Structure formats: structure tokens, C-alpha cells
Structure 1
């Protein structure tokens, strides 16, 4: 049975770890040719080797890319199209959460600028060059391929509500991603280019765990989670797959919250927390 991304080409930035890593593996399992982009080249190469072990027929391309540099992003898209002939999915997933990001009073301007460069400009550059490529996609009715594509921008639950642990630059940057996503979606909808944001809740990934580096900080987040646990990267990868595939063909401009109920909760429910993910995810 063909996969949901059969014959399609996907770029994933930040593919060396976390959501990017799990999405790369999942996209490959669903038939996509996957371009693994990361500023950490050895990490992306390890993911490529893992995909080769799990899915020997999958095609991958590994690229070192700093999404905060427009020239890097342009080269990433150009090299993808040169190798695979098209671009169907752009997952602008790369981002940073700097450990020195704090309140308006304590965050240094250099931390603010770096966060905006990666988290906001990186999404702008990725979307810009993805749109230019997707406009030129050749159609192939037999394979279900057409002009257009899907752009997915990783935002965050903090874009729609304040963060209990101060991280002003990160929060502001993810709010910008939501606003940018909505406008891109409206401008390019008639071109068959769908643009949605993926808004994760707190995840048990290196990015967040390095920021929540004390038990006090971790508990400050957990107290707001109805499920009583951090999310897993693979749970977000499955959501990204939905947005990348035709399963979400009538969705654009959406803020897709995958946050364990956090954004719907005033106070956490009574009872013992579920501190472990489902067994199927623990072995993924």
C-alpha cells in the first residue's frame, strides 16, 4: 500500500534531533524522499544512516544549513530540486531556545537578535524559497503530484498564551511565526500552497530539557499539563505528517495545537498524573 507521501519530496530543517529527527524517519517510512537539513551536519548524517537501516529503499539528502542565512536556505532548496526534481513539503522546524532568554528586563539584545534571526527569519527564508520551488512543480496525475505543496512552520503553545518560565524572545518569535503563517496561507492559497503552523506543547526533547535545566523549572511546566507529562517528539512528527499529506488537504492558515490540553486548561484536573507516554511511543 503506497505511503501518504509516496513520490513526494520533503525538506526538514533541524532534522538532526527532536521533532525533526522523528519526522524524517516517519516521512521516509511514508514514501517521501527526505532532505535532512541541520546546522549540525554529523547529527543529520546519523539520522540519514538510521533511515537507511530502517527503510533501505528510502532516498535522503543531507545538507548542512544555517536557516538564519538566506544564502544557505536558497542553496538548500536549489540542491533539493536539482536532485529530486521538485519540492512538495517544506517543514520549517529548526529553531532555538537560548538558555539566557529571560524577562524583558534581563534578556540581552544579542539573545533577542539571535532568536529572531533563527526562529523568524529562518521561517521567512524557508517559506520564500519553498514557494518559488512549489510554483514550478511538474504535475503527474498518475502519481498524484501537482503544482503547489505544503509548508509547515514549527511555532509553539507559547505563541497563544504566556509562558510560566520567562523566555521573552522565544515567545515573541513564535508569535511572529503564527502571524507569518496566516498571511502566507492567505496570499498563496489559490496557488495550491498550503501553509500551517504546528504548535507543540512542552516536549521531552533536548531543546526544552536544556532550557528547563532544574527540577523546579520542569515542575513549573508540568503543573499546567492536564496529562501530567511532557510530550514526545514522535507525537509531533505524526501531526506534521498529517499536515504534510493530503489528509489535511482542506487545511491552511491553521494553528495546529498539539499540547496535551495545556491551552484548554485553567487548572489541572485532580488525580494521579500520567507520567509516561503510551507504550507504543516508548519503543518508537
Structure 2
């Protein structure tokens, strides 16, 4: 399709990164065991970014609940985590994130097993193949993207909030630069991620004691991106996104709570050069701005 991708250049003018750098290096949290005694629940944890996130939190001392649709893949993910961190505590919970009762059950099972919840990472998402305008595709498929990507996040945040208020915990909502980009033939995915950005803003307003981050994980060669055939090169390792999640939920950049953040931004530069303006102007949220 010849229509340009609108909004690709709408980003902070900071150094673009595609690998782990010193400020976010997970080694600092591993050596300090920053998440020892902490409990982390991750959806979409059977592969890619979700599995790497589980590994990094486990290495930093966290007890885990990992959620995905299939028990078999969860068992494989648990084995991968235990191979890296033999003493790790890993609870598996097979569920479709669209299932409201299952979301409640996953949170309850976590609290029953560990006594609390400190961090929620909502990573589960789907995307259809790039290239077909929405009026030429199945409307049920278009809406299914909203069900998984929006409702699936809402379900877990809804049931996690009461527990996170007790621990003054954190949430990472894995979104996408697609929330900001107008990408023809991907309206379903882009709209779902844009919706999540506004949802994050409301959570931050209504529950200020819970830190919530809206994070683009970079362009990672996950099965999701490969199957969708999005015309952007996959240049980022899943470890970059996972490192950013751990960094944010370790309390290193609470001023970004309620805002959009990209794993491709050098967060050292963001804090040094942009923090004051971001806070003063209430930036990195969806709003009308007149230059």
C-alpha cells in the first residue's frame, strides 16, 4: 500500500537504543536481589517478551505467576525459568485473558500462593496480518483484537488493583508505538493500543498509589510481529523490553507513571533532559496540543 505511515517521527528527540545500556542493566537488580520477597504476575508469559520478562524478574529474586492460554507452553516456560534460577517460585495459570472469571482466578491463586501481589505485567496481545483495509476484513476478527488487547488488560488490572493498593505496587501495560502511529490496514491493533494509553492515564488518576507504565517494547521479532508481517524491521531483543519493565517497577522513574514510554528511548537522557518539562506540561499523554 502506498499510503505513508503517519506519526512514525512523533517521538522524543533522544538517543534511540536497541540493546541494554548501563542505566537499565538488569545485573544491578540481580546483584541486589531487588525483587526478593516480591510477587510478579505476567500475562502472555509463554514466549518472547513475556518469557524474557519472567526470567529477568526471577533472577532479581521475584516469585512469579505466569499466565498463558496453554498449560503445555506454560510448563515449558516454567522449566526455562527454573533452568536459569533453580530456586525460583513459579506458579502457572492457564487462561484466556478475555475470560473475566479466569482473570479473577489468576489473581486469587497468586495471593493464595504467595500472600500478595507487587507487580502486574500485561503482555498478552494479538495482531492480524498486515495488508487488508478494515472494511474488507472480517469484522469479528477486528473486534477480537479489542477483546484480547483491551479487555484482556482491563480484566487483570481490575482484579489486581485491590492487591496492588495494599503493596503500593506497579503495573506495566505493554503497548506499542502503534498507539501513536496511523498505520494503514492495522486500525484494529493501533486503536487497541491507543485505547490502552488512555486507560493507563485513568488508572493513574484514580489510583495514584499504584504506579502504572504504558510501555512500547521496541520492535521485537516475536511470533506476533512475524505472523502479522508488519513492514518494520525487527531490531530489538526481548531482553531490552524486559529490562525496561524491571527498571520501571524497581521505582527508578516513577515520574513516568501514567505516561507513554518507549523501550527505544535512552531513559538516562529522558530524565536528564526532559523530566522537568514532562512533569510541568503533563506530557506523554493523549491530548490536543496547539503549538
Q: What's 2:173 paired with?
A: 153
Q: Does 2:210 match 1:199?
A: no
Which of the residues 177, 186, 192 maps onto 1:173?
192
**Match of residue 106, structure 1, among 103, 117, 136:** 136
52, 61, 85: which is aligned to 1:55? 85
Match of 2:236 among 202, 223, 231: 231
Aligned twin of 2:248: 243
Once the 2 structures are TM-superposed, how far is the Cα of residue 6 of structure 1 from its aligned partner? 1.6
Using structure 2 for the length normalisation, give the TM-score: 0.77
Select the residue among 174, 177, 182 that pairs with 1:162: 182
- For 2:32 and 2:236, locate their aligned partners in 1 and report how far apart those are by CA, in whole Å: 29
Unaligned runs of 5+ in 1: 138-146, 223-228, 262-284
Correspondence for 1:14 among 44, 56, 73: 44
Q: Secondary structure at the match of 1:67?
A: coil
Matched residue count: 236
Q: Structure 1 residue 87: deviation in Å? A: 0.3
Give secondary structure in 2 for the equivalent of 1:198: strand
Aligned CA distance change for structure 1 residues 41 and 101 (closer, same or farther; 3 Å): farther
User: Residue 133 of structure 1: which of 147, 150, 163 is its match?
Assistant: 163
Q: Which residue of 2 aligns with 1:140?
A: none
1:240 and 1:67 map into 2 onto residues whose CA distance is 20
Q: In the superposition, relative to structure 1, how do residues 101 and 151 fare at CA in structure 2: closer, same or farther (>3 Å)?
A: farther
Please report the RMSD computed on the Cα atoms of aligned residues, expressed in angstroms.
1.8
Structure 2 CA distance for aligned equivalents of residues 84 and 76 of structure 1: 12
Q: Is the CA contact 1:101–1:168 (under 8 Å) kept in the aligned structure 2? A: no
**Contact kept in structure 2, 1:102 and 1:168, CA below 8 Å:** no
Aligned-residue offset at 1:116? 0.8
Structure 2 unaligned residues grouped into runs of 5+: 1-30, 267-291
TM-superposed CA distance for 1:211, in Å, is 1.1
Superposition pairs for residues 30-49 of structure 1, below 5 Å?
A: 30-49=60-79
SS, match of residue 231 in structure 1: coil
Alignment of 1:241-280 (within 5 A): 241-259=246-264
**CA distance in structure 2 between the aligned counterparts of 1:199 and 1:183, rounded to whole angstroms:** 18
For the 8 Å contact 1:28–1:55, the answer to whether it is kept is: yes
Quick check: 75-84 or 165-174, which moved more?
165-174
1:15 offset after TM fit, Å?
0.2
CA contact (8 A) 2:40 2:119 kept: yes
Displacement after TM superposition at 1:17 (Å) = 0.8
Q: Which of 192, 204, 221 in structure 1 is aligned with 2:232?
A: 221
Query: In 2, Cα distance between the equivalents of 1:240 and 1:65?
Result: 23
The 1:151/1:230 distance shift into structure 2, 3 A limit, reads same
Q: 1:116 to 1:179 in 2, by over 3 A?
A: same
Are 1:120 and 2:131 an aligned pair?
no
